[in-house]
Chain A
């Protein structure tokens, strides 16, 4: 039956050499090492534990190195976007800047205010690491290169990300600071709203792939030689926006909105505790980019290129490009107000995501029932979904009044009459906002 992915292009059983020096699958080297351990006569559980340890250490090392590199990259890139150079004093071209930052954070005095709850004050920063690292455990970095391939991988990602809300709230509460609590409550409301949209966006992917396993989604994409991005543009956009909100990056960095409530839920944190928040933000960003790459951009496959270039290199390249997208929006876009952000989630993104799920379900049903072949069905679905995305976004925006003339740009009136008055009160909803009704 054409829908059955096991009759795909057969890339899954391609000519991998399976020797320890075959860099395209680092699991071969690890496997050879484990065989050597077994030959030395170790009991059965030793290779199991050692492989787990190697996985954990590798992921942690990669995350720390990437983070150090990206602190520098982000600041230089944003500097370039702002017509200035960026850090260039510490070390050649400023390359030692992340090290300097880390040393500074370690050496700073970690002040804990007297009325703050000591034990809970520590729980916040520690708990915020948990989601990011746990998500990294299920991402396939390459063929067979993941820490664990859960059967419910996709749902696991969302579930663990929801622990973020607790961490943020505890951090805000434990600071015993009005501003921090205000920031924490705003952040929690934001995170909960956008979690829903993340789940709905991911539903589209799962419906197509037929499984919640991350590896299954990547295999589906490589079997049908298509990236889910082309089949689910609306879901992709919703997921990127929702993820940017979840990890708290601009244009949704309301939790750290400097110009409003100083630093939100981590106002009172200094020294290495703040360093934890800072690091956790980057690690969460990597995790989220990893999810986007795996589920929407084909993971470690690239239409057959992974036979020559190691899959994990492709994966890392795509991940860094997605991260660059986040850096780009941070340098360019201003920040939304919290109520506008929530209105955007509930009134705009949620209906669109629901419609997307319905349409996707209908498409997969048609594909299965009408017994179409993949080569015919998928391009049709891609075109239909892309058109639907454009139509829905424009149509819904018009329906919600985002494109009304009162909300559009205009120019100042140029006049020579001195003393003339051109004032007209702002219309409808604007006035309602001013007097607090809307």
Chain B
């Protein structure tokens, strides 16, 4: 992280990510909160790139900004009784207290820890290595994740079947 380009990019992306995340909590309208959340996802993808994790960055955009955000939007839209605003609640003060405590703890830990800094040797391609790792060393989690996704798909199909219909192909 020596050259100025990366440093400038890091600070911009960090500001974008943290700023949108704060906006998600602070904005009144729920849908606008989701749009800010998407911006925060994109910021995180940028941060992955500064760490030379190119595949993870693109996967972040594809999955989070492309699919999960749509999932959240649909969930908001299909819950008719949910109020569409980040309303005032009586839990504001306890919430702020808790958030402050967590922030303090994390800041304290991150400043006190002795991070071992690794000398990065340029930008390598990660996609091929991730692929090999997924199919050799981490094949069990990979298969478990696929089974989980299959169960989710079957569950959603079962949920929306019209009632009383006969078993189709």
The answer on direct contact between A and B (beta carbons under 8 Å) is yes
Contact, CB under 8 Å: B59 / A192: no
Which of B38, B54, B62, B65 gathers most chain A CB within 10 Å?
Answer: B62
Minimum CB–CB distance for A385 against chain B, Å = 23
Which of A152, A174, A438 gathers most chain B CB within 10 Å?
Answer: A152
Task: Kindly identify, within residues 55 to 111 of chain B, every residue whose CB is under 8 Å from any CB belonging to chain A.
Answer: 55, 58-59, 61-62, 65-67, 69-70, 73, 77
Assuming A159-B59, A437-B165, is B70 touching A152 (CB within 8 A)? no
Contact, CB under 8 Å: A188 / B32: no
Contact, CB under 8 Å: A120 / B58: no
A227 at the interface (CB under 8 A from B): no
Contact, CB under 8 Å: B70 / A165: yes
Minimum CB–CB distance for B20 against chain A, Å = 13
Please give, as numbers and ranges, the residues of chain A lying within 8 Å of B35 by CB-CB distance: 120, 123, 166, 170
Number of A-B contacts defined by CB within 8 Å: 68
Assuming A159-B59, A169-B70, A438-B168, is B162 touching A212 (CB within 8 A)? no
A163 at the interface (CB under 8 A from B): yes
B132 at the interface (CB under 8 A from A): no
Please give, as numbers and ranges, the residues of chain A lying within 8 Å of B62 by CB-CB distance: 155, 158-159, 162
Among B32, B61, B73, the residue within 8 A (CB) of A162 is: B61
CB closest residue in chain A, given B164: A437
CA distance A192 to B66 in the complex (A): 9
A436 at the interface (CB under 8 A from B): yes
Contact, CB under 8 Å: A173 / B31: yes
A82 at the interface (CB under 8 A from B): no
Contact, CB under 8 Å: A117 / B127: no
Map CB proximity to A onto B19-56 as digits: 1 under 8 Å, 0 otherwise. Answer: 00000000001011001001000000000000000110
CA distance A97 to B59 in the complex (A): 42
Task: Kindly identify, within residues 58 to 111 of chain A, every residue whose CB is under 8 Å from any CB belonging to chain B.
Answer: none
Please give, as numbers and ranges, the residues of chain A lying within 8 Å of B4 by CB-CB distance: 45
Task: Kindly identify, within residues 174 to 228 of chain A, every residue whose CB is under 8 Å from any CB belonging to chain B.
Answer: 174, 188, 192, 195, 212
Assuming A117-B29, A173-B31, A437-B165, is B67 touching A159 (CB within 8 A)? no
Number of interface residues of A (CB under 8 A): 28
Secondary structure dominating the interface of A:
helix
Please give, as numbers and ranges, the residues of chain B lying within 8 Å of A159 by CB-CB distance: 58-59, 61-62, 65-66
A160 at the interface (CB under 8 A from B): yes
CA distance A155 to B128 in the complex (A): 13
Map CB proximity to A onto B135-169 as digits: 1 under 8 Å, 0 otherwise. Answer: 00000000000000000000000000010011010
Map CB proximity to A onto B105-132 as digits: 1 under 8 Å, 0 otherwise. Answer: 0000000000000000000010100000
CB closest residue in chain B, given A181: B77
Please give, as numbers and ranges, the residues of chain B lying within 8 Å of A188 by CB-CB distance: 70
Contact, CB under 8 Å: B61 / A160: yes
Contact, CB under 8 Å: A156 / B38: no
CB closest residue in chain B, given A123: B35
Minimum CB–CB distance for B88 against chain A, Å = 21
Which of B4, B35, B66, B165 gathers most chain A CB within 10 Å?
Answer: B66
Contact, CB under 8 Å: B65 / A163: yes
Secondary structure dominating the interface of B:
helix
Among A152, A169, A170, A192, the residue within 8 A (CB) of B55 is: A152
Minimum CB–CB distance for B98 against chain A, Å = 30
CA distance A160 to B165 in the complex (A): 39
A150 at the interface (CB under 8 A from B): yes
Among B29, B54, B61, the residue within 8 A (CB) of A163 is: B61
CA distance A166 to B69 in the complex (A): 7
CA distance A174 to B162 in the complex (A): 31
Among B31, B55, B77, B168, the residue within 8 A (CB) of A155 is: B55
Please give, as numbers and ranges, the residues of chain A lying within 8 Å of B66 by CB-CB distance: 159, 162-163, 165-166, 195
CB closest residue in chain B, given A429: B168
A119 at the interface (CB under 8 A from B): yes
Please give, as numbers and ranges, the residues of chain A lying within 8 Å of B70 by CB-CB distance: 165-166, 169, 188, 192
Please give, as numbers and ranges, the residues of chain B lying within 8 Å of A166 by CB-CB distance: 35, 38, 65-66, 69-70, 73
CA distance A163 to B34 in the complex (A): 14
Please give, as numbers and ranges, the residues of chain B lying within 8 Å of A165 by CB-CB distance: 66-67, 70
Among B54, B61, B65, B162, the residue within 8 A (CB) of A436 is: B162
CA distance A144 to B139 in the complex (A): 38
Please give, as numbers and ranges, the residues of chain B lying within 8 Å of A398 by CB-CB distance: none
Among B54, B61, B65, B162, the residue within 8 A (CB) of A150 is: B54
Please give, as numbers and ranges, the residues of chain B lying within 8 Å of A117 by CB-CB distance: 29, 31-32
Please give, as numbers and ranges, the residues of chain B lying within 8 Å of A120 by CB-CB distance: 31-32, 35
Task: Kindly identify, within residues 350 to 400 of chain A, every residue whose CB is under 8 Å from any CB belonging to chain B.
Answer: none
CB closest residue in chain A, given B168: A438
Please give, as numbers and ranges, the residues of chain A lying within 8 Å of B38 by CB-CB distance: 166
Please give, as numbers and ranges, the residues of chain A lying within 8 Å of B61 by CB-CB distance: 159-160, 162-163
A151 at the interface (CB under 8 A from B): yes
Please give, as numbers and ranges, the residues of chain B lying within 8 Å of A173 by CB-CB distance: 31, 73, 77
A-B contact pairs, 13 of them (CB 8 A): A123-B35, A150-B54, A151-B54, A155-B59, A159-B61, A162-B61, A165-B70, A166-B69, A173-B31, A173-B73, A195-B66, A212-B127, A437-B162
Contacts A120-B31, A152-B58, A169-B73 known; list 14 others, CB within 8 Å. Answer: A117-B31, A123-B35, A155-B55, A162-B65, A162-B66, A162-B67, A163-B61, A163-B65, A166-B35, A166-B73, A170-B31, A170-B35, A212-B127, A437-B165
Q: Which residues of B contact A (CB under 8 A)?
A: 4, 29, 31-32, 35, 38, 54-55, 58-59, 61-62, 65-67, 69-70, 73, 77, 125, 127, 162, 165-166, 168
